[in-house]
Structure 1
Amino acid sequence: MIKKDLCEFSESDDEKPLTRHIKTRKKLQRFEDDDDEKDAFLNQKQNDDPDSPNNNPLPIFEKFFTNEIVQEIVRCTNIFIEKLSRKYKNSSGFTNVDEIKALLGVLILTAAMNENHFRTEDIFNSEIHGSQYVSCMSLQRFSFLVQNICFNDKETEENESDPFSPMRNIWDLLMTQCRNNSILGSNVTIDEILVPFRGSCSFKMFLPDNEKKYGIKIMTMCDSSSYYMIDAMPHLGKYTKTDGCSASEFYIKELTKSIHGTKTNVTVKGLKPSIYLAEQMLEKPYNLTMISSVKASNKEIPKVLKRNTNRSIETPSFSTVGSVTFMSYNLDSNAIRYLLATNDDKNAILENYDATKNSVVAFDQMCSDMSCKRKGNNWTTILFYHLINIVSVNSYILYCQNSKNDNRKPIQRRVFMNKLHADLANPWRKIRFGLSNMPRTVKNDILAVLNKQKKECPGIAKEKKEVPEGKRRACSMCHYKLNRKTRNVCKKCKQFICGQHTASVCVICAEDLVAIRH
């Protein structure tokens, strides 16, 4: 049986635990660790403080969304904005790394709070959603960036030879990071994920058996125990260059490149591997075993298994062809299930397949539970949302694994993503607060968010300038419509303050306050 390597402990009912989902006879069952192991893990000394450095999600997130990837997005987006500025006089300015990270933080926050389906106008309405969103960027800037974000420096139109070229560079860079930081167990699962999309795309698929119906098909390989997404490839249909081999053989060999020679078992679902491919994977340089379901119409199934249909229900029957073992299994009087395997243990074929076949489905469910996907007509933007979902799930799985190795209790996934949002967006909030032309209402919103994390004076973020004596200026604390002029200046932050916002403190107490603040 495949060993369970990862388990999450959730304190509230609204958090779905990171446990194994096995689909047997159209019913999802949950496999959890033994109670003794849970009690032993929970009774150890753990650091439960969410603000602890051990619970910092940003370093894990940056293992996937590296500075190289963010800088590439900034470079390509600025090239596209420059082209827009030639056509439109009122086009917005260029972007930078801090702003793109803040954009990622906003999208991650919508996923954490399940607000991705809200209208953009409602999300950036401070009366409805507070100051979290408006403190990062304005509604107009968010809409502009989402609409014009670009991932390649060439023309954004699809090339005839490679229709995936507008997304190819960023996709390959991020998949490389997923492979380099992968959690590999004894079994991996290959299956398809359909990213829902109904816009214009040359490789859009229609899958009538899938509840999403239309979308972009992504062939995905996940670790069967932790659900970590190791690698993924878009299915381009007729544009896929398979070099003369079948589509199943192409995707299985390409997705398993990072695990060749590891003697890992591969559970294949959604593809049609042949006997030749199964035997070939046993040899060098692959050294991989395989378990896969086979359709009853497959001509490679031995006739002995098809003839023997009168045996009792739930009684398996085996037949060997070279190094490949075929198994037939009567689910009921009318349904027969066929499996192909290259494992030595015949009795564990059905058990291992049922235990690992839905790992990619479970990963897709985790992405859907907290998704940042928004409506859009551009398929590159939709896949960008999918990449953010992949990175957020992989980051949390990696964080849970690190917490388990350090005997620490992991924080909930919603708390993890909220902290990640704050770490990504706070640098850009502080930059916006220091801008001289930023409206005072926006600065108040930024302070309202930042002061929840650390109390500080409004003028600390600004540079201290020498204030000429006798000058009268508007109070920095009052609303701008009041236009209260004053000569009083704060001795620390050099901000003009009126009598309403001035406190009388003696010299001794003032020194104590300064010492406490520092």
Structure 2
Amino acid sequence: MAKRKFSTEDVLRFLDGNVSEIEDLIETEDEVEDKTWTPGSSSSSNEGGENIDQRTETEEADPTVTQATKRLGRGKVKRKEKRKKTHTAESDDSTSSEVETSTATHTKRTKKSAKKKKKKRDYRWRKVDFESPDVQFDDSADETIEERSEFTPYMYFKQFVTNEMLQLVVDQTNLYSVQKDGKSINKTVKEIEQVLGMYMLMGLVQMPNVRAYWEMDTRYPKVADVMSWDRFQKLLTLLHFEDNLGVTEDAMKDKIWKVRPWLEKLRQQCLQIHPEENHAVDEIIVPFKGKSQLKVYMPGKPHKWGFKMWGRAGQSGFLYDFDICQGPADPKKEKSDVGVSGDVVLKLTSTLRAGKNYKVFADNYFTNYLREREIYYVGTVRMKRVKNCKMMEEKDLKAQGRGSMDHRVNQNGMIIVRWCDNKAVNLVSSFVGITPQSEVKRWDRKTKNYLMVPRPGIVETYNRFMGGVDLLDMLSALYKYSLKSRQWYLHIWWHSVTVALINAWILYRRDLKAQGREKDAMPLRRFQASVGSCLISAGKARVKPGRPLSSPSQSTMEEAGGKCASRCEARWSQALPILGTATKVQALQRFSTLHSHVL
């Protein structure tokens, strides 16, 4: 076979890797081979000095040789076609990959250019006087006070824990008992109310463990007489709030889907209450040390391990809105300008009506977003998050003395105040600044005397209204019994019941204050005892207290005493005294003490 010589241009085309030109060269080479081929020049046909006649004789003598040669020719053609197809596919792939790469590069460049075009708002902070806006609160009258004028503590509690919510627990618990044990536990709404009442009384009279309320030596009748220990444990084991088999995959993305229906209904009941003027947004810790992916560790809290909740509470401690912290957000989700904590505050304040001049107190910098909804803000701030704001250093403020302060105001009417007490404190506000100033008493270690230190108005306002969530935590921990359970969602549920009770008590006090009967309000301890007793008596006939209408006669007592003595003698193998000639009152007393098992 003749060899074709390639020029310099052909070699350069090979190096460039142009597939279409390589195919043309291959086809041209095949054509040249076909044209230059002669029977005498073929090495296979002229091998060993054989001519055409000899090959013909050989083919006639052995026909299999001819068939093998034809198969070799067909295989060569197939390989050539396969090679062409491979080159074509590779060219298509390279072309598509080049298009995809160019498209992706173009998309990235477009996003970068869009980010560059999107300019963030820059604030110019200057040391000028701060003009406080008109923040008069538009307080409309609460029309529901008259409806609650005759409410009892039990009815206040049912304002937040409704029969619909209890029916949800009953249905899901019975369903789960069938799924687990094959038979229904037959729980009723009255039985759920009794469990809640027992839980409240346990918080008032706390014992080392739950079983102690049923034990002989430490028995507490108000709890033990409601239901047996086995029934109580069975109900707690099967408590459920969502169908495990009927929940969708989208619903399971919510990490608290097991208790979400109950929490959402409770949240809606809390949002129906008329809100106060001042609200604090802070975190709430539900104590828990078991196994759960929602458990967090916060060393600065009294309870370091537990579930983290976000709550918006009023100055009175009433919890209006809340949500459960579910850990880091989805990384695919776009990050907001205010951060994760800022998103929480914006979400919790979104349920407040715009234009009412509500005041929100928190500890993150997102004032401008609330200002657009006419909601004013005061909170602490980290100066690293505030750009283009140069203030006096902490050491310079300390050199001026205790109580020194500095401030800056931007073009949107926000003010940042740095006040030096023991350390420098930075606060930001949209409605209160340095004035009006007041004085606070501080102890001076050097002179060992009390000093009057000036304090800006923003600090006084923050300290006065920021403690709503902390007050709620304190009230929740007073008479709350800790029931141990491996089911993590039960701890959240018990805490929600306690919060509902606290909200009911605060609403009860608010209504009495509006009616001018604030002195008649009962403390939380008595309020909880009243609600617990009403819940326990659900579905039970009331027994009228007092002495019986008739008393047993002397003969009846002697007859009963004789039967009792014979039984006791047969049981204890010793004679016991029978009632003698005593007065009627003494006989009744002796009979009741010695022979109580007969009655």
Q: 1:416 to 1:164 in 2, by over 3 A?
A: same
Equivalent residue in structure 2 for 1:96, among 188, 209, 225: 188
1:6-17 to structure 2, matched below 5 A, reads none
- Cα-to-partner distance string for 1:325-357 (whole Å, 9 max, x where unaligned): 10101112xx21100111144322111001122
Maintained 8 Å contact 1:152/1:169: yes
Q: CA offset at residue 155 of structure 1? A: 4.6
Structure of greater Rg: 2
2:223 partner letter: Y
The structure showing larger relative contact order (alpha-carbon pairs under 8 Å, at least 6 residues apart) is: 1
* Aligned residue number for residue 370 of structure 2: 281
Q: Structure 2: how far apart are the matches of 1:385 and 1:63? A: 17
Q: Are 1:399 and 2:508 an aligned pair?
A: yes
How well do the aligned residues superpose, as a CA RMSD in angstroms?
3.0
**Any conservation in 2 of the 1:290–1:343 contact (CA below 8 Å)?**
yes
Query: TM-score of the superposition, structure 1-length normalised?
Result: 0.67
1:250 matched to 2:336? The reply is no
Please say which of residues 99-108 and 403-412 is displaced more in the overlay.
403-412
Letter aligned with residue 193 of structure 2: K
Confirm whether residue 291 of structure 1 aligns to residue 378 of structure 2.
yes
Q: 2:26 matched to which residue of 1?
A: none
Counting only pairs closer than 5 Å after superposition, residues 311-350 of structure 1 correspond to structure 2 as 311-322=400-411, 323-332=413-422, 335-347=423-435, 348-350=457-459
Q: 1:421, CA displacement in angstroms?
A: 1.1
Distance 2:499 2:246 in 1: 24
Aligned partner of residue 418 in structure 2, secondary structure: strand
Asked if the contact 1:135/1:429 (under 8 Å) is kept, the reply is no
Give the unaligned 5+ runs of structure 1: 1-52, 431-449, 459-474, 484-502, 504-518
1:143 aligns with 2:233: yes
* Aligned position for 2:299: 208
* Contact 2:512–2:521 under 8 Å retained in 1: yes
CA 395–455 in structure 1, closer or farther in 2 if over 3 Å, else same: farther
Deviation at 1:179, TM superposition (A): 1.2
Aligned twin of 1:259: 352
1:218 paired to 2:309: yes
1:57 and 2:153 equivalent? yes
The match for 2:35 is none
Q: Which runs of 5+ in 2 are unaligned?
A: 1-148, 436-456, 550-559, 569-583, 585-599
Offset of 1:413 from its aligned partner?
1.7
Give the 3 Å change call, closer, same or farther, for CA 414–349 of structure 1 in structure 2: same
Could you say which residue in structure 2 is the equivalent of 1:7?
none
Identity %: 19
Question: What displacement does 1:380 show?
Answer: 0.7
CA distance, structure 1, for counterparts of residue 402 and residue 533 of structure 2: 56
- Matches of 1:425 and 1:247, distance apart in 2: 43
How far apart are the structure 2 equivalents of 1:318 and 1:400?
A: 40
Q: Distance in 2 between matches of 1:141 and 1:325?
A: 60
| Greater helix fraction, Structure 1 or Structure 2 | 2
1:37 maps to which residue? none
Residue equivalent to 1:174: 266
1:288 corresponds to which letter in structure 2? I
* Conservation of the 8 A alpha-carbon contact between 2:391 and 2:406: no
Against the structure 1 CA distance between its residues 457 and 388, is the aligned structure 2 distance closer, same or farther, given a 3 Å change threshold?
farther
Q: CA deviation at 1:126?
A: 5.7
Counterpart contact for 1:78–1:95, Cα < 8 Å: yes
| Count of matched residue positions in the alignment of Structure 1 and Structure 2 | 376
Contact 1:136 1:429 in 2 (8 A): no
In structure 1, what is the equivalent of residue 9 of structure 2?
A: none
TM-score by length of 2: 0.58
SS of alignment partner, residue 219 of structure 1? strand
Cα shift at 1:423? 1.0
SS at match of 1:346: coil
Matches within 5 A, 1:375-454: 375-408=484-517, 409-430=520-541, 451=543, 454=545
- Superposed, 1:457-472 pairs within 5 Å as none
Matched, 1:302 2:395: no
AA matched with 1:62: K
Cα distance in 2 between the residues matched to 1:121 and 1:166: 27
Give the aligned partner of residue 84 of structure 1: 180
Instruction: Give the letter aligned to residue 316 of structure 1.
Output: M
Deviation, structure 1 residue 298: 3.3
